[in-house]
Amino acid sequence: MSVPSNAGSIRIHRDIAAWFTRIVVQPLSRLLRRIVRRVFHRNPAAVAFWVAESPVVFAAMATLSELRVFDVLKNGPQAAGDLARRVRADEDALARLLRAVSAVGLLNRRRDGCYALNPVARQFCSDSPNPVGAWSELILQILPLLSRLPAAVRAGEPLMKHATGGTCWDYLATVPRGTELHDRAMNAWTEAVVDAIAKRCPLAQARTVVDVGGGRGALLAALLRSAPHLHGTVCDREHTREEALQRFQRQGVQDRATHTVGNFFEAVPAGADVYTLKHVLHDWDDDHVLQILRVIRRAIPPQGRLLIIEGAADHDLLPGASVRAVWDLTQWIATWGKERTLAEFQALLAAAGFRLDGVRVTPTYDALVIEAVPV
């Protein structure tokens, strides 16, 4: 693991998942990168072509997802005409999309001309545990802004801030289903990993927890299921309240879970033993991160703990450098934030009155549990 040289007594908790990642996943990833690079180097013109055309292929997959074509195909192979009638689309236009994505292996086209799901296309179904369908539909809403990327790079500002003057949430509120798509994608991704994350959170000595920016309560519910002695609250926007309370009811933790409407730039419930922040800080620039951390610092008791659940740009047990670099660019384009190194987390925590106290590895592809204590 890559740890800042001035990190002090950071404790690194390694488990079977970390061992498996280091011994199996990383060597396979390196082998795959070597194979891909060899192909790229031998076919530079073909690679350049596909890079130039990739937005078209992406837009086709996102459109098929929005039209619910992949959901319809769960019932079995269908011809383009039948699909067009089912999703209320023009047959000729839809057939062009289907041919294109099938040609590059993202959907199967059978000898009889019917289309069928393959393992990649199944990931775009609305009930997939990997919500790439909702995510691609969300990114499709942001594509018009990409023409401003050269100007944003020259100005040194995140694209969303440079192009709109607002946050991604401000922008998504102006486009059809923007907020819904964002929340659906984030909720599904959270659902897929919260149980694994909850098992790595140190909660044995805690009695109360506040999940700051916890949305519809997926993480809090997982924490309470993993620690039956725990009580907690989600602190987030008004529109997340009803679904959070419904989730608590479904998952049998309603007697120990509440939802508090709040703004984490202003105040959070005070006095809890543990505060959690899952994939919140990477959405914001350093000034806003400091504001969030200082709000929590005012609320946390002297013996409390802050758990930041995010990836670290320099952590060697997470996916390879290429994945981290692309995700960092995605954050810079779509939000005001970025992926941070452990040294950057340490500096921000220190400026807000915390000390970085430990790092726990989780068996997820992009989440560490970064522990901090007030000083």
Residue-wise pLDDT tens digits, 261-305? 999 999 999 999 999 999 999 999 999 999 999 999 999 999 999
Give per-residue pLDDT as tens, 70-94: 999 999 999 999 999 999 999 999 9
> Stretch 118-122: mean pLDDT, rounded?
93
**What's the rounded Cα separation, in Å, for the pair 285 and 283?**
7
Positions marked active-site: 282
Confidence of residue 39 (pLDDT cuts 50, 70, 90): low
> Stretch 319-346: mean pLDDT, rounded?
84
**What's the rounded Cα separation, in Å, for the pair 214 and 187?**
10
Give per-residue pLDDT as tens, 166-220: 988 899 888 888 888 887 778 777 888 899 999 999 999 999 999 999 989 999 9
Confidence of residue 313 (pLDDT cuts 50, 70, 90): confident
Identify which of 345, 343, 317 has the alpha carbon closest to the alpha carbon of residue 15. Answer: 317
Q: What is the pLDDT of residue 298?
A: 98
Residue 67 has pLDDT above 50, yes or no: yes
Computed over every residue of the chain, the mean pLDDT equals 87
Q: Are 145 and 162 in contact (CB under 8 A)?
A: no
**What's the rounded Cα separation, in Å, for the pair 93 and 84?**
9
Q: Residue 273: which residues within 8 A CB-CB, separation 6 or more?
A: 205, 206, 207, 208, 209, 301, 303, 304, 305
Q: Please give the CATH number for the structural domain made up of 5-15+186-374.
A: 3.40.50.150
Residue 33 has pLDDT above 70, yes or no: no
Confidence of residue 22 (pLDDT cuts 50, 70, 90): low
Q: What is the pLDDT of residue 26?
A: 61
Least confident among 97-111, 234-248, 282-296, 357-371:
357-371
Identify the CATH class of 44-178: mainly alpha
Residue 324 has pLDDT above 50, yes or no: yes
Q: What is the pLDDT of residue 41?
A: 65
Q: What is the pLDDT of residue 24?
A: 60
Identify which of 89, 95, 140 has the alpha carbon closest to the alpha carbon of residue 115. Answer: 95
> Stretch 124-149: mean pLDDT, rounded?
88
Q: What is the pLDDT of residue 129?
A: 78
**What's the rounded Cα separation, in Å, for the pair 118 and 297?**
49
pTM (2 decimals)? Answer: 0.80
> Stretch 32-45: mean pLDDT, rounded?
68
Least confident among 20-24, 31-35, 44-48, 265-269:
20-24
> Stretch 106-116: mean pLDDT, rounded?
95
Domain residues of the chain, as ranges? 5-15+186-374, 44-178
